[in-house]
Structure 1
C-alpha cells in the first residue's frame, strides 16, 4: 500500500508521556488514556472513541457522568467521585457498557467492570536493581496458571528459590494480559494492560517480579501486538480503526499500524510496552509472532517501539531486553556494537534449533535420503543461528550477528502443546538421548531456554487449553482438531478423538506441575544434572559471551547425525562441540583443549553412541 502522510494526526491531542515517580520505590507509568489517579486524589478518565458522539462514565453505585468530547475523538473527565478501588465502565451513546480498553485490572473478567488502580500503592523493594547483561541470561519459560497447583503469582513466589538454585537468571512469563475465562495459554488476550485476574491482582504480579529481582533473576513478559483474541474486544464498536482489513494474520484482524488513526494504535502498543517495563519493572519483553505486526509506514512499529524502550533504558540506566519471535531473516534487527552490546533487539527465538528434535526422534542416522542434509541444517543452526529463515525483501542472507542473538531450546509451550496429547519430550525419547540434546542446548553460545519442569523431566503434559463458551467454544475445539490433523506424521482418527478437549478444566489441571516429583530419585537426579551443567555454563561459557560483536561459529558434518562446531571468541579462546547423535560410534579425533562436559562416553578417537563433548582452548 501507499502510505499517506495526509492522514489526520490525532496524536497532537496529547503528549507522549514517560514519567517515573521521584521516589524509586514508587513506580508509575503515566498514560494519556485510561484511568489515571492524580496527586490531588481525583481520577482522570480518557478514552479514544471517534465513532461515538458522546461517552459517559459509569461508576458503580453512581449516576453516569458525561465526558467532554474534544472533537478529535477523545472523551475525557476528571472527577473526585472516583478513587483507587472504584469500579467503572464507559457508557456508549446506544447504552452499551464497555470496559476500559487500558484497564489496569478486571476483577470480573474481560466483560466486567474495570477497577481504578493507583500504581503508587505498591512500594518496591528492589532499589538499585539494574537488570543483568544479556550474555548472562538463562531463560525459564513459565505459565503462571500451571506452574503451581494454585496457579497464582503469590504461589509462584514460593518456587523462586528453586529457580535460583537451578541457576536460572531470567524468567520468561507466558502472556499475562487479561483473557476470557479462567484458563488460557494467554495469546488470545483482549485487554493488553490488565493483568489477568485468574492469576492475582496487579500488586501480586509486582511482588513476584520484586521477589525475582531479590534473587538476581530477571523477568521478561510475553506480549502479543499483532491481533486481539476472539472474545472480549469491544474496541471496534467505538474505535473501528484499531484493526485493519488491509493486512491479515492467522489469528484474527491485524492491528492498524499504518492507516488512518494508526497514530493512536501505535501509542496504544508503545505505551503498553513502557507500562510493563516501567510500572511493573519488567526486564524485557518477548514479542510473539512479530512478523505479523505488519506495517507499511516509513517508520515500522518495531523500530519505533525499540527506540522508545531504548530511551527508557538509558534514562533509568538499566538493562532492558527485547526479544522477537519472527519467521523472517531479521539480522538487521539483531546487530551489536563493537563491545558486543545489542544496538537493536537482544535476540530472536531460534526455531531452527528444533532440528535437534529430529535427532532425538531418530531421523538423522536412519540412513534415509536427506539425513546428511538435515545434519547440516542442525549444525548450521547451532553454529550460526539462521538456517531456513525467509530472506527479507529478497536480500542475501547475511547472519553477521553473534550466537547470543539467538535463543535455543528443546521444549517450549508450542513444541509441547502442539502435539496431540501435549507430551513433553522426556515422555517420548530415552533419557540418554534427551541428555545428549539437552547438553548441546545448555552449553551452546546461544542463550538457552528451559520450559518449566524440564529440569526434573516432569511427567505432566502441556496441552492447549482455553475457556470459551457456546459456538465459539465448539469452533475452537474443531479448529484445534483440524490443526492437529495436519501434523506430520498425521495422527489417526482414534488419536484425534482422544485428544484433550481445550475447554475442559481437567485439561488445564493435567498441565499443572507436580512438585512432589522432585522427591522421587529419578526426577531428583534430573534436577541435579541440570543444576550441574548450568553451573558449567555460569563458570565457563557466560564469561566468553560478554563482548561478542559478530558471528564467530563454523561447523562441519562428520556423518549423518554427527557434527562438529567451533566458536572463536575475541579473547582468542576457542569453544569446540563434538556431537554424535547416532546409535553407533563415529570418529572425531581427540579432544581439543580442556573437556568441559562429556555426556556419554568416548573410546580413543571415537565418540560412542549419543555422546556430546564440549571442550575449550583458552
Structure 2
C-alpha cells in the first residue's frame, strides 16, 4: 500500500514525470523556483498564489523559492529539508514507501502512552535507534508511543517546539522513509504512534513567512512566544488550511494513529467554528475505519472540547496537569509557582480521579496570571490523560530533576500505582518505566543574540524561585544552548539494564490494567464515582462500571501512618489487585495503598 496526501500547496511529483510547485506569497511582487541551478519563473495567480512547473524534476532534487529577486527561502510545506530550515527543500516521493495492510489502530480505552524525544532517547538519537527499543516497550505493556515534535528547527538539537517547517521531519533524526519505517515497526508490535504538533506559533529562527506571507500572523492576538497565528482575520482561510492539511498529512502519509496538540489555549480564534473544531471535523471525515486519536494540551481545561472518541469537532483526550500538580505537591512538598494553586492537594487529586479536572478556566495568552476557578464540569474519565512526569514537568525545572530525585521512592511507587490503576489513560515519560535518574533539561542549539537571550531569560525566570535564586545569581544554571546539556539528557541504558525492580513494578501494574481494567473501561460510568477523605492524607476512591462492578482504591498519601476508617460499603467478591506498603484493617503505613476489584451490593 502507498499513501500520498494531496494538498493545495508545496511540491507534487507528477505521475508522468516532473513536478509542480505552489507557494502562497501574498506580499511578494514576483516569485521564481530554483531547481538545483535551474531558475523557473513562477506564474502569479489570484490571491497571492504562485505556480511553477519543472518537467525534469525527480525525487531527491533540491529546490528553493526566490522572492522578489533577492531572497531564497525553503518551501513552507517542504516534505524534507536535509540541511535545516535555512537550506533548500528536497523533493520526496511519498509513494515510494510500501506500507503493510491491516493496521487500523487501537481503541482509545486501551491507551497507555509512552512519551519520548527521539534525539535523546538513544545515544544515536535516530528513528532507527529508537525503533530497536520498541519491542521492550510493547513487552512492558505500553500500547502507544508519543513522539515529541518533529517539525524541522534550526541547529542540531532541541525539544522541537520551535519548529518552522511543519511538514518536514527534523533531518538529524533520519529521513522521511526512516520515520515511516519506525511507525510501521511499531504497528507490527501492536503499538500506536502519536505525534506532538505545534500550531500556536513558529520558532524564532528560520521562519521566513513574515517577509512574503505576513497574513500567517495575527495583529489581533499575541501568545507568550510571540506573534499568534492568524486563524480569524483577513487571509485566515489559507492559514487554517495550512494547519488542517498538516494534521491530515501526518495521519495519512505517515499513518500516525493520532496527534497531541500543543498549547491550544494559545491558538486564539474568535471565528465559529474555531480552528480546532474545524480541524477535528476534517480529521474525523478523512479517517473512516481507523482509530485516530486527537489529544489536547489546554491550560484552560475547556471541558466542552472533550467527548467520546471519534466525535466530530471534539477531542477524546487532554493532558491533565491538575492530576500531576496535586500529586506532585503531596509527594514533594513544593508549593511555589503554579503549585500554589494546589492548596488542598488531597481534595483536588480526589476530584481529578472522580470528575476529571480540579480547576477550569483562566486567561488566554497569560499563563497562570491569576488563579483559575474550581472545576464544576464532570468529564468522562477516559478524556483525561494523567501523568506523573512529562517533558514539561521535568524539563521546565532549572536542573531537570525527575521525580525520584525529589520524593521518597516508596511514595513514587504509590504514585505509579495511582497513575496506572486509575481508569484515565496514563502517560509515562521515557525512562520513567525503569526509574531513570537521567535529567531532562531544556536544550536548544541557538546561535548569536538568540543564544544569549535564551540564557538570560532562563536566569531571569528562575531568579524568582527561592530554591533556584542563588544558582541563578551565580550563573550556575545549566546552559540550555550547550552541547553538554543536551548530552546529559541522553537516557542511560546501562542504568535501565540494572533497574529490574522499577521495570518489574511497571510491568506488573500494566498487566493488571490490561487484564482487569481495560476490558471494562468501555462501561465506565460518568458522574457516579465517589471519593472519601477519612484522614488528613487518606484517600478512598470508588470507580463504578455499568453492570455493578467497581474498583476501590485506599491510599495513605503521607509519610506518617494513619488510622484507616473505611467509609464505603465493602465490595462483594473483592479481589486484591495490588498493594503498596503496609496496610492492615485499622492502620495505613506511610505511602501505602490497596486496590480491590469486586461488585457492589444491590441498593
Q: TM-score range by the shorter chain?
A: over 0.9
When residues 486 and 383 of structure 1 are mapped into structure 2, their CA distance, relative to the original with a 3 A threshold, is farther
Aligned to 2:299: 327
Aligned to 2:315: 345
Partner Cα separation in structure 2 for residue 87 and residue 488 of structure 1? 51
RMSD, aligned CA = 2.1
Counterpart of 1:286 in 2: which secondary structure?
Answer: strand
Partner residue in 2 for 1:615: 596
Tell me the equivalent position of 1:257.
231
In structure 2, what is the equivalent of residue 469 of structure 1? 447
* Alignment counterpart, residue 107 of structure 1, candidates 66, 82, 95: 82
In the TM superposition, residue 613 of structure 1 has moved relative to its aligned partner by 1.1
Cα distance 1:462–1:150, how it changes in 2: closer, same or farther (>3 A)? same
SS in 2 for 1:81: coil
Measure the CA separation in 2 of the matches of 1:294 and 1:370: 24
* Residue 155 (structure 1) shift: 0.7
* 1:481 maps onto 2:459 in alignment: yes
Q: Tell me, which stretches of 5 or more residues in structure 2 are unaligned?
A: 365-371
Contact 2:534 2:565 in 1 (8 A): no
Pick closer, same or farther for the CA change 1:490–1:558 going to 2, 3 Å.
Answer: farther
TM-score when normalising by structure 2: 0.93
After superposition, give the CA deviation of every residue in 1:445-484 in whole Å (9 maximum; x if it has no partner).
1110000000111121000000010001100111122222
Q: Which residue of 2 aligns with 1:357?
A: 328
What's the offset of the Cα at 1:60?
1.2
Q: CA shift at 1:395, angstroms?
A: 11
What is the SS of the residue equivalent to 2:533? strand
Residue 41 (structure 1) shift? 1.5
Tell me the equivalent position of 1:444.
422
Specify the alignment match of 2:587 in structure 1. 606
Partner of 1:68: 43
Match of 2:353 among 382, 402, 410: 382
**Equivalent residue, structure 1, for 2:94:** 119
Deviation (angstroms), 1:247: 0.5
Which SS does the other structure have where 1:264 is aligned? helix
Per-residue deviation at 1:535?
0.5
Name which structure has the greater RCO, CA cutoff 8 Å, separation 6+. 1
User: 1:530-563 CA distances to partner (integer Å, 9 max, x unpaired)?
Assistant: 1111111111111121244633422122222211
Aligned residues: 581
Deviates more, 1:85-94 or 1:600-609: 600-609
Shift of 1:409: 0.5
- What residue number does 2:502 align with? 526
Q: Say if 2:7 is the partner of 1:31.
A: yes
- Which residues of 2 match residues 225-244 of structure 1 at below 5 A? 225-244=199-218
Residue number in structure 2 paired with 1:164 = 138
On the 8 A contact 1:41/1:83 being kept in 2, the answer is yes
Say if 1:395 and 1:341 are closer, same or farther in 2 by CA, change over 3 A. farther
Shift of 1:242: 0.4
**What's the CA shift for 1:494?**
5.8
- How far did residue 124 of structure 1 move? 1.1
CA distance in 2 between partners of 1:454 and 1:134 (Å): 22
1:290 aligned residue: 264
Deviates more, 1:243-252 or 1:386-395: 386-395
Matches of 1:473 and 1:122, distance apart in 2: 38
Mind listing any 5+ residue stretches in structure 1 that lack a counterpart?
A: 1-24
Secondary structure at the counterpart of residue 498 of structure 1: coil
Seen in structure 2, the aligned counterparts of structure 1 residues 161 and 496 have a Cα distance that, compared at 3 Å, is: farther
**Which residue is 1:273 aligned to?**
247
Q: Which residue of 1 aligns with 2:54?
A: 79
Aligned to 2:367: none
- Rate the CA distance shift 1:429–1:148 in 2: closer, same or farther, 3 A: same
What does residue 498 of structure 1 align with? Answer: 476
Distance 2:78 2:343 in 1: 53
Indicate conservation of the 8 Å contact 1:106/1:197, yes or no: yes
Q: Is the 8 A contact 2:127 2:182 kept in 1?
A: yes
* Offset, 1:496: 6.1
Which shifted more, 37-46 or 381-390? 381-390
Query: Measured at CA, do residues 38 and 156 of structure 1 come closer, stay the same or move farther in structure 2, by a change above 3 Å?
Result: same
8 Å CA contact retained: 2:398, 2:468? no
CA distance, structure 2, for counterparts of residue 588 and residue 445 of structure 1: 24
In the alignment, is the contact (CA less than 8 A) between 1:341 and 1:547 conserved in 2? Answer: no
Q: Which aligned pairs between 1:581-600 and structure 2 lie closer than 5 A?
A: 581-589=557-565, 592=571, 593-600=574-581
Aligned counterparts, 1:393-408, within 5 A: 397-408=375-386
Of residues 387, 408, 411 in structure 2, which corresponds to 1:433? 411
Distance 1:323 1:301 in 2: 15
Q: Render the CA deviation track for 1:393-447: whole Å, top value 9, x for unaligned.
A: 9999542321111011100011111111101111222211110111111111111
* Cα separation, 2, equivalents of 1:106 and 1:61: 17
Separation (CA, whole Å) in 2 of partners of 1:281 and 1:442: 27
Alpha-carbon separation, structure 2, partners of 1:597 and 1:502:
41
Kindly tell me: are residues 30 and 494 of structure 1, through their superposed partners in 2, closer, same or farther at Cα, counting changes over 3 Å?
closer
Residues 139, 169 of structure 1: 8 Å contact kept? yes
- Distance across 2 between alignment mates of 1:370 and 1:327: 13
